[in-house]
Amino acid sequence: MFTRIDHVGVAVRDLEKAVAWYETNFGLSVVARESHEEQGVHEAMMQVAQAPAGGSYVQLLQPSREDSPVGKFLARNGEGVHHIGYGVVDVEAALADIGGKGIRLVDARPRHGSMGASIAFLHPKDTGGVLTELVEAAPRA
């Protein structure tokens, strides 16, 4: 069902400092910057690899408000890995398959994610404590 690891989401307090750290120390570059107000995040996608089926990224996430998912995570755990995003070919089909196994879906229907992707989250309490995101990448232009 999964085609690759699309991204690893990392919760950070200061997006600009984190971007500079990944550029300087790991040589990664920003390929997209977005804010998702409904998610309460400002983010930067740092590209790790390019591939025909879609790239792979580190997604740096700074909360735009304290009561957001990333804001609450930072208050509880501090900075660190927040979620894993797996690439899928068809996010609706993957949701139906996983939901059918009794795993709680945070999103029963896909919503808009970074870089035009269609995404949905699975509940970390049913996925071994790892917040999990399904990512159907936007069709390539």
Residues at the contact surface with ligand MC0, assessed by CB under 6 A: 9, 36, 39, 41, 59, 61, 69-70, 72-73, 76, 82-83, 85, 106, 113-114, 117, 119, 121, 123-125, 129, 131, 133
Distance CA 56, CA 46 (A): 9
Minimum gap (Å) between residue 28 Cβ and ligand MC0: 17
Listed residue (94, 97, 102, 82) closest to 119, CA to CA: 94
- Scored b (16 or more CB within 10 A) or e, 35-49 reads ebeebbbbbbbbebe
Of 52 and 128, nearer to ligand MC0 (C-beta) is 128
Of 22 and 121, nearer to ligand MC0 (C-beta) is 121
Of 58 and 82, nearer to ligand MC0 (C-beta) is 82
Q: How far is CA 36 from the centre of its chain?
A: 12
Distance CA 32, CA 19 (A): 12
Minimum gap (Å) between residue 132 Cβ and ligand MC0: 9
Distance CA 73, CA 99 (A): 25
Minimum gap (Å) between residue 98 Cβ and ligand MC0: 15
Of 24 and 129, nearer to ligand MC0 (C-beta) is 129
Distance CA 116, CA 138 (A): 5
Minimum gap (Å) between residue 70 Cβ and ligand MC0: 5
